[in-house]
Amino acid sequence: MLAGDDTQSLKRTPLYALHLSRGGKMVPFAGYDMPVQYTPGVLKEHLHTRSAAGLFDVSHMGQVELRAKSGKLEDAARALEALIPQDIVALPPGRQRYAQFTNESGGILDDLMVTNLGNRLFLVVNAACKAEDEAHLRAHLSDTCDITALTDRALIALQGPKAEAALAKFCADVTTMKFMDVAELTLEGLPCIVSRSGYTGEDGFEISVPADGAEKLATALLDNPDVLPIGLGARDSLRLEAGLCLYGHDIDTTTTPVEAALSWSIQKSRRSGGARPGGFPGASAILSQLDGGTTRLRVGLRPEGRAPVRENASLFTSADSAEPIGAVTSGGFGPSLNAPVAMGYLPAALAVRDTVVFAEVRGQRLPLRVAAMPFVPNTYKR
Amino acid sequence: MTTLYTPDHEWLKIEGDVATIGITDYAQEQLGDVVFVELPKVGRAVKKAEAAAVVESVKAASDVYAPITGEVLEINETLGTEPGLVNSDAGGAAWFFKLKIADKAELEGLMDEAAYKAHTA
């Protein structure tokens, strides 16, 4: 038996019992025993999230707090800016920002969300990277910051057009929040950190809740017939349709934020000519790509036929060219589009909308068209 | 007409020297929502255990192996436009392809319904 099949060694989130009671089909994911789907299946769960509301257990993700030893939040913000190319100094209290930890060559160690909670920074990182991320933070920021992994908290995402109404039953304050706002709110008597964001392209929330109250809150949310539990399978198809990157697939240590088409996430203040240019790992590579362009780019791809084109499929300029020019990094079926969708890397010259390239699938060359992302328009509350 | 099963969750309905082949209800449940089916070309000679078709769910692609050797006589074109038929009627309308049986002796290693039920129990 493979080590990965040994479910005995898998960790469980505080919602494990709830997953089983709701018919979750459990699979190993990033060291956790997680629900890939429930009884309705990936297709229906995906469509339900886009038409009503889905509840996702994302407690496997890492939650970390940074507090400046000086007591001044700006010192923690400046310290974190030494590890990421984003502007955190100018991030207002109650706001969240998408960021990446970079390495010395400009590659991405992990992608994360950074929130200014007024007296501290709150970070949410990927499950598979959380140990390395915490070590990275301790190695570089221990002089200036107290770093606390919030291992006693669960994380629940509530996503979809009916998410606001579902959450407002517990706290009316959420209705005034806009996309990427964050507030510390009491839900079901529990002290929660609520952000208006997610990983589906839909309006919605992510709720950090004390682990011992997570099942109570999730159960209360699921008492609403508009809210169904959604597994990792639909989480993946939803984020793919939304054009969002999955770490370890679309981005990793070999891709820079610029190549990954994430330049929008690097504020002017950290670029050449900005108030605090560079000063993060890989700055020379990333700033020169921001100024002079890059040789390859992540693009959206729409297969012209019905066959899904999946991760690792090689891409070619024509139906018979010998040398691959790139590869698909995520691909599958988009239930809302009722069509296959993919993303991957192409030479920058070909990363132009409506360019046709070919993927090799089971010995055949299938045409795909370069397409704008998101594939499904997002519905964020701006 | 006899119905036989493989350990890989395919069924074969035998009529004379023609076998109609599909995947079982158990298999479609394991796969989840089927979104695409790729079928062999009519006239192709397939060998036993060779990948003859592909069935794709939202999550993944799975090969369907030829349970016996033979020539493809007919394919179920409906699956091209209605792949979801595999979920709703795996044992009937969602047949994949028909083979002209090359060697009836190959049928002897297959399971009957009772044996298959025990296999999936």
Helix A130-141 to helix A73-81 angle, to the nearest 10 degrees? 110
Q: Is A239 on the interface with B (CB under 8 A)?
A: no
- List the single residue in B38, B61, B83 with the smallest CB-CB distance to A310: B61
User: ipTM beyond 0.85?
Assistant: yes
Domain final residue, candidates A205, A223, A241: A241
Residue A257 belongs to a domain: no
**Contact residues on chain A for B80, CB-CB shorter than 8 A:** 306
Q: Is A333 on the interface with B (CB under 8 A)?
A: yes
Nearest CA in chain B to A236: B59
Q: What percent of chain A has pLDDT over 70?
A: 98
User: pLDDT tens-digit profile of A96-146?
Assistant: 999 999 999 999 999 999 999 999 999 999 999 999 999 999 999 999 999
**Contact residues on chain B for A232, CB-CB shorter than 8 A:** none
Report whether A201 contacts A238 (CB < 8 A). yes
**Contact residues on chain B for A335, CB-CB shorter than 8 A:** 58
Residue A322 is given by DSSP the state S
Calculate the alpha carbon distances from B73 to B46, B69, B82, B90, B98 in Å: 11, 12, 21, 20, 5
Cβ <8 Å between B35 and A233: no
- Which residue type sits at A1? M
Helix A232-241 to helix A42-51 angle, to the nearest 10 degrees? 60
Nearest CA in chain B to A238: B58
Q: How many CA atoms lie within 13 A of B5 on its CB side?
A: 19
User: pLDDT tens-digit profile of B19-57?
Assistant: 999 999 999 999 999 999 999 999 999 999 999 999 999
Same domain, A156 and A236: yes
Nearest CA in chain A to B58: A333
- CA–CA min distance B48, chain A (Å): 19
Cβ <8 Å between B58 and A306: no
Residue A277 belongs to a domain: no
Residue reference for tokens 């592909």: B54
Same domain, A68 and A115: yes
Calculate the alpha carbon distances from A315 to A318, A366, B87 in Å: 9, 9, 31
User: pLDDT tens-digit profile of A173-185?
Assistant: 999 999 999 999 9
Domain final residue, candidates A241, A276, A308: A241
Can you give the residue range of the structural domain that contains A166? 3-59+152-241
Report whether A141 contacts A83 (CB < 8 A). yes
Residue A278 belongs to a domain: no
With a cut of 70, say whether residue A1 has pLDDT above it: no
Q: How many C-beta atoms lie closer than 10 Å to residue A21's C-beta? A: 11
- List the single residue in A37, A234, A307 with the smallest CB-CB distance to B36: A307
With a cut of 50, say whether residue A251 has pLDDT above it: yes
pLDDT of residue B49: 94
Nearest CA in chain A to B62: A362
Average pLDDT, chain A: 97
pLDDT of residue A352: 97
Residue A259 belongs to a domain: no
Q: Is A231 on the interface with B (CB under 8 A)?
A: no
pLDDT of residue A7: 59
Residues contacting A266, CB < 8 A, separation 6+: A85, A86, A257, A258, A286, A290
Q: What is the mean pLDDT of residues B67-75?
A: 98
Residues contacting B56, CB < 8 A, separation 6+: A307, A308, A333, B34, B35, B36, B37, B38, B62, B83
Listing DSSP states for A84-107 in one string gives: SSS--TTPPTTEEEEEEEE-TTS-
What's the rounded Cα separation, in Å, for the pair A44 and A2?
Answer: 32
What's the rounded Cα separation, in Å, for the pair A151 and A341?
Answer: 36
Nearest CA in chain B to A335: B58
Start-to-end CA distance of chain A, whole Å, equals 49
Same domain, A165 and A88: no
Same domain, A50 and A186: yes
Beta-carbon contacts below 8 Å between A and B:
45
> Which of A38, A39, A43, A312 is the best mutation test for B, with the most CBs of B within 10 A?
A43
Cβ <8 Å between A362 and B57: no
Q: What is the mean pLDDT of residues B70-77?
A: 98
Report whether A156 contacts A55 (CB < 8 A). yes
Question: Domain holding A124: CATH number?
Answer: 3.30.70.1400
Cβ <8 Å between A333 and B54: no
Query: Two tokens at A90?
Result: 């100018």
pLDDT of residue A2: 41
Residue A279 belongs to a domain: no
**Contact residues on chain A for B61, CB-CB shorter than 8 A:** 308, 310
What's the rounded Cα separation, in Å, for the pair A202 and A102?
Answer: 28
**Contact residues on chain B for A340, CB-CB shorter than 8 A:** 35-36
Number of structural domains in chain A: 3
Residue A244 is given by DSSP the state -
Same domain, A77 and A54: no
Residue A146 belongs to a domain: no
User: pLDDT tens-digit profile of A214-238?
Assistant: 999 999 999 999 999 999 999 999 9
Cβ <8 Å between B35 and A42: no
Adjacency order of strands within the sheet including A190-195:
A182-187, A190-195, A204-210, A153-159, A53-57, A227-229
Same domain, A51 and A181: yes
Question: Domain holding A319: CATH number?
Answer: 2.40.30.110
Query: Two tokens at A358?
Result: 């070919």
What's the rounded Cα separation, in Å, for the pair A378 and A202?
Answer: 6
User: What structural domains and CATH numbers belong to chain B?
Assistant: 2-104 (2.40.50.100)
Of A187, A251, A237, the residue nearest A217 (C-alpha): A187
Report whether A66 contacts A116 (CB < 8 A). no
Domain final residue, candidates A241, A272, A303: A241
Interface of chain B toward chain A, CB-CB under 8 angstroms: 32-33, 35-36, 38, 54, 56-61, 80, 83
Of A236, A221, A218, the residue nearest A162 (C-alpha): A221
Same domain, A54 and A70: no
Q: How many CA atoms lie within 13 A of B88 on its CB side?
A: 7
Cβ <8 Å between B36 and A333: yes
Sequence-distant contacts of A317-323: CB under 8 A, at least 24 apart: A317/A350, A317/A357, A317/A358, A318/A358, A318/A365, A319/A358, A319/A365, A319/A367, A320/A365, A321/A358
Same domain, A28 and A159: yes
pLDDT of residue B59: 83
Same domain, A206 and A81: no
Residue A119 belongs to a domain: yes
Listing DSSP states for A5-40 in one string gives: G-GGG-B--TTHHHHHHTT-EEEEETTEEEEEE-TT
Cβ <8 Å between B61 and A36: no
> Which of B31, B37, B58 is the best mutation test for A, with the most CBs of A within 10 A?
B58
User: pLDDT tens-digit profile of A332-349?
Assistant: 999 999 999 999 999 999
Same domain, A113 and A179: no
- List the single residue in A41, A308, A332 with the smallest CB-CB distance to B32: A41
- Which residue type sits at A73? L
Calculate the alpha carbon distances from A131 to A122, A127, A134, A224, A357 in Å: 16, 8, 5, 36, 39
Of A11, A18, A15, A55, the residue nearest A33 (C-alpha): A11
Residue A315 belongs to a domain: yes
**Contact residues on chain A for B64, CB-CB shorter than 8 A:** none
Cβ <8 Å between A46 and B58: yes
What's the rounded Cα separation, in Å, for the pair A41 and B31?
Answer: 10
Question: Domain holding A46: CATH number?
Answer: 3.30.1360.120
Q: How many C-beta atoms lie closer than 10 Å to residue A176's C-beta? A: 10
pLDDT of residue A6: 55
